[in-house]
Amino acid sequence: MMAALALRGLLPLATAGVLVGCAQAPKPLYMWESFPKQQYQTLLGSDLDTTAQIQALEAHAEKARAGNAALPPGFRLHLGMLHLAAGNAGTARTMWLAERVAFPESGPYVDTLLKRLNGSAPATSKDNPA
């Protein structure tokens, strides 16, 4: 009798344990991969080949599209900056506008970048304090 009561008490606990063990981890919101590391290296001023960085990020974007995954915030901005450094201002503009569509809160920053790209608001030390 006592054993039957003990088994009845353990059955819900065991069932809960099995269900928790079968639960899948939530899918990440964004496909980050090596993007943060690459961005950090770029910000450090590492002597990385701009063309190789662009190719790596474009491969990352293609992989995200193929896997129906979202690119992280700032990805398109960073890729646009790399394109600008490589002399592709039109592609930079396209990337920045895509970032504004994906993340509307980036709008003021994107607008600033576009103004500077158009030459109407040159970068000054006031804009970029050391």
Domain region containing 83: 35-118
The pLDDT of residue 87 is above 90: yes
**Comparing 93 with 3, which gets the higher pLDDT?**
93
Question: Considering the domain boundaries, does residue 81 fall inside one?
Answer: yes
Question: Considering the domain boundaries, does residue 127 fall inside one?
Answer: no
Question: Considering the domain boundaries, does residue 3 fall inside one?
Answer: no
d(CA 56, CA 62) in angstroms, rounded, equals: 10
> Which range is least confidently modeled, 18-32, 71-85, 103-117?
18-32
Question: Considering the domain boundaries, does residue 63 fall inside one?
Answer: yes
Q: pTM for this structure?
A: 0.73
Question: Considering the domain boundaries, does residue 91 fall inside one?
Answer: yes
Burial of 95 (0-12, 13-18, 19+ CB in 10 A): buried
Q: Per the structure, how many domains does the chain have?
A: 1
The pLDDT of residue 93 is above 90: yes
Question: Considering the domain boundaries, does residue 110 fall inside one?
Answer: yes
Question: Considering the domain boundaries, does residue 22 fall inside one?
Answer: no
Question: Considering the domain boundaries, does residue 24 fall inside one?
Answer: no
The band of 5, judged by pLDDT with boundaries at 50, 70 and 90, is low
